[in-house]
Amino acid sequence: MHSQENNNSKESVNFIQSIIDRDRENNKYGGRVHLRFPPEPNGYLHIGHAKSICLNFGLAEKNNGLCNLRFDDTNPSKEDIEYIDSIIRDVRWLGFNWEDRLYYASDYFDKMYEDAVSLIKQGKAYVCDLNPEEIREYRGTFTKPGKESPYRNRSIEENLSLFKQMKDGIFEDGSRVLRAKIDMSSANLNMRDPVLYRIVKKSHHRTGDKWCIYPMYDYAHPLEDYYERITHSVCTLEFEDHRPLYDWLLSNLYSSELPQQIEFARLDLTNTIMSKRKLRILVEEGYVSGWDDPRLPTISGLRRRGYTPQAIRNFCNRIGVAKTNSVVDIRFLEHCIREDLNKNAQRVMAVLNPLKLIIDNYPDNLTEELEGENNPEDPSAGSRKVPFSKTLYIEKEDFHEDPPKKYFRLAPGREVRLKNAYIVKSQGFVRDEKTGEISEVHCTYDPESKSGGAGAKRKVKGTLHWVSAGHALKAEVRLYDYLLLSEDKKQEEEAKANFIDRINPNSLEVLTECLVEPSLANAVKGNKYQFMRKGYFCVDLESKTGNLVFNRIVSLRDSWEKIMKINQGKGK
RNA sequence: UGGGGUGUGGCCAAGUGGCAAGGCAAGGGAAUUUGGAUCCCUCAUUCGGAGGUUCGAGUCCUCCCACCCCAGCCA
């Protein structure tokens, strides 16, 4: 399916694959490999989820196994159908296929209820009347063992009857819970008689008002896995402490082919926010325009920004899978999208900050249709015609009246090549009297230097992109930058707490006076281009013919910018 | 001074007793009609620390240190 990925040499096997290898050798699960991606539908997916999606579906594919998509919808007070739709869309967009295996935890509520009854009958679960505060007190602390609930030793019959009454809605929210009877003095707090079921009189997005008791994650998850015959239940590190409970429940209820939980480190990225809670704050308090704001690391944000599924998958497959808490440099993500788009994006010329360039010796009313290569990395992409005339626009930063050292662009008396066109020589410039800014540059062209022509061999230091004034299209360009400023190591603690203070005030710069070449007139939403010398851009979903809007996905690497920074550092 | 984890270059990450892969970032160079892409070179005498076992230790043992997670009727 994605066989051309991971082109970079012998990939090393991650520790989960090693476990699978070992299990297959031992014929555990009869050689079956079955995973699942189990999101709770209470928010939008982000690139951290993409790591998990790629891991689970990828492992299944690699091992000739299966991977289910399963909604862990055990808490109706936090979940919503809106999220289900977005999650399905995102996983599919990433390129994964669960075939007919789309499941919901809520589909298993009856079975789960029966399993709870079974535990009660074994004397391994009981109905507890303690209120939430009391349960917390009875639980003890890290260093002090808990106390047994006074309701711990009710008879099986009484428990059965009480649990049925819980189900039947006889009791109020929070008045009773079903608990596992394990060990109140366990060093692992999760084993101190954990709550299995709680009363929540809330209608569920799928089961409606059928239930007023809902299973807790710790109870539901191992059962969901078992019902679906999952072999390897991959989750994140914070559930490591829950594994003994996962195993306790399954071994008390079932006996063969029990799934095993394996934990790995979740993805964290520099210069952005990954926590669902914080993402929600950004969206709900209006720091960004929505869940699909191109600055967000949500899948929908990345999609709108112009990231491709291929690039995201490559990223996820290359960051590694381990148990070390780590923070991946966002520049690695950028590397992955550049790598993809360099190969696949059509080149086009767009001037973001236009400066008029007049070729004094070019015929007044002539328009030449010049040939432009669509993608030097892919000859099969062909070429297109680009109109050229006497009056052009170039990038403001491409002319300097007093050029710094190593500046290869246009300056008084200097020559540059106009991409796909002619070599021009600057002959002077006009300054706007009011603003003092340079308003137009005059030059002459060398007719012999036309690209592809016999006299084109002459070398000049720089090449500029340009558009023809009479043919160019106006466009809005949104320049996106990192959502968050880099962390100041010294104030790391503080920075983490106040992520709002780290929001990059320049994360979005809107340019409304941009000019793009006419071939973009009917650019389709979602299409990606390389604006030569500037970066990769994507047609935004708000774009219309006559009112083009582009998002900057990522800039090109820019070694001139680096030289400038170094110069500044040296005081030049 | 409870339990569970993790510590390999600026950031990820291989490594499972025999002389520290790879990628990103960084620096240098070649070439170049994108200061892009490409190509070449440089970048851990050392694996959290200290002891020990061994001919040999990132890998085994002991002790120590640092960081992360856990006291929701959230997942």
Q: Which tokens in the block code for residue A122?
A: 């074994």
A40 counts as catalytic: yes
Catalytic annotation, pick one of A201, A276, A280, A425: A276
Looking at A213, A230, A264, the residue that finishes a domain is A264
User: What is the Cα–Cα distance from A472 to A521, expressed in whole angstroms?
Assistant: 9
Residue A284 lies in a domain: no
Residue nearest to nucleotide B24 (CA to C1'): A332
d(CA A145, C1' B24) / Å: 47
The answer for residues whose C-beta is within 8 angstroms of residue A93's C-beta and 6 or more apart is A299, A303, A309
d(CA A268, C1' B46) / Å: 28
Domain count, chain A: 2
Q: Once rounded to an integer, what is the mean pLDDT over residues A343-355?
A: 98
The domain of A182 spans: 32-264
Q: What integer pLDDT is reported at residue A316 of this predicted model?
A: 98
Q: What integer pLDDT is reported at residue A567 of this predicted model?
A: 77
Q: Tell me what percent of the residues of chain A surpass a pLDDT of 90.
A: 93
Assess whether A435 and A539 both reside in one domain: yes
Assess whether A416 and A538 both reside in one domain: yes
Q: What integer pLDDT is reported at residue A260 of this predicted model?
A: 98
Q: What integer pLDDT is reported at residue A7 of this predicted model?
A: 35
d(CA A5, C1' B56) / Å: 40
Minimum mean pLDDT among A193-197, A354-358, A491-495, A546-550: which range? A491-495
Q: How many other CB atoms are there within 10 angstroms of residue A123's CB atom? A: 12
Assess whether A56 and A186 both reside in one domain: yes
Q: What integer pLDDT is reported at residue A207 of this predicted model?
A: 97
- A73 closest-nt by C1' vs CA: B75
A276 counts as catalytic: yes
Assess whether A354 and A260 both reside in one domain: no
Assess whether A248 and A382 both reside in one domain: no
The angle, 0 to 180 degrees and rounded to 10, between the axes of the packed helices A47-62 and A15-25 is 30
Residue A319 lies in a domain: no
Assess whether A248 and A391 both reside in one domain: no
Residue A531 lies in a domain: yes
Q: What integer pLDDT is reported at residue A2 of this predicted model?
A: 45
pLDDT category of residue A572 using cuts at 50, 70 and 90: very low
pLDDT over threshold 80, residue A255: yes
d(CA A455, C1' B14) / Å: 53
A110-131: pLDDT as tens digits:
999 999 999 999 999 999 999 9
- A556 closest-nt by C1' vs CA: B36
Catalytic annotation, pick one of A40, A257, A440, A487: A40
Cβ atoms of A456 and A449 closer than 8 Å: yes
pLDDT over threshold 70, residue A57: yes
> What distance, in Å, lies between the first and last C-alpha atoms of chain A?
53
* Buried residues in A238-257 as b, exposed as e (16+ CB within 10 A): ebeebbebbebbbebbbeee
Q: Once rounded to an integer, what is the mean pLDDT over residues A534-551?
A: 97
pLDDT over threshold 60, residue A290: yes
User: What is the Cα–Cα distance from A148 to A138, expressed in whole angstroms?
Assistant: 7
pLDDT category of residue A11 using cuts at 50, 70 and 90: low
Residue A5 lies in a domain: no
Q: How many other CB atoms are there within 10 angstroms of residue A419's CB atom? A: 18
- A42 closest-nt by C1' vs CA: B75
Catalytic annotation, pick one of A89, A147, A164, A266: A266
Assess whether A248 and A365 both reside in one domain: no
A473-518: pLDDT as tens digits:
999 999 999 999 987 655 555 555 588 999 999 999 999 999 999 9
Residue A556 lies in a domain: yes
Residue A572 lies in a domain: no
- A376 closest-nt by C1' vs CA: B37
Helix (H/G/I), strand (E/B), else coil: A328: strand
Assess whether A353 and A254 both reside in one domain: no
Cβ atoms of A353 and A397 closer than 8 Å: yes
ipTM over 0.95: yes
Q: Which amino acid is at A494?
A: E
Residue nearest to nucleotide B73 (CA to C1'): A198
d(CA A324, C1' B58) / Å: 16
- A188 closest-nt by C1' vs CA: B3
d(CA A556, C1' B42) / Å: 24
Q: Which residue has the tokens 């788009």?
A: A341
Residue A133 lies in a domain: yes
Give chain B positions with protein CB within 7 A.
Answer: 1-8, 10-16, 21-27, 33-38, 67-75
User: What is the Cα–Cα distance from A178 to A119, expressed in whole angstroms?
Assistant: 10
d(CA A258, C1' B23) / Å: 37
Q: What is the pTM of this model?
A: 0.96
pLDDT category of residue A569 using cuts at 50, 70 and 90: low
What CATH number is attached to the domain comprising A477? 2.40.240.10
- Beta strand pairing call for A354-359 and A438-446: parallel
Cβ atoms of A149 and A137 closer than 8 Å: no
The answer for residues whose C-beta is within 8 angstroms of residue A459's C-beta and 6 or more apart is none
- Per the prediction, chain A carries an average pLDDT of 95
Q: Which amino acid is at A202?
A: K
Looking at A220, A244, A264, the residue that finishes a domain is A264
- A244 closest-nt by C1' vs CA: B4
A266 counts as catalytic: yes
Q: Tell me what percent of the residues of chain A surpass a pLDDT of 70.
A: 96
Residue A333 lies in a domain: no
Looking at A243, A264, A285, the residue that finishes a domain is A264
Question: What contacts 24+ positions apart, CB below 8 Å, involve A435-441?
Answer: A438/A355, A438/A396, A438/A399, A438/A401, A439/A355, A439/A356, A440/A355, A440/A356, A440/A357, A440/A358, A441/A355, A441/A356, A441/A357, A441/A358, A441/A394, A441/A399, A441/A410
Cβ atoms of A311 and A536 closer than 8 Å: no
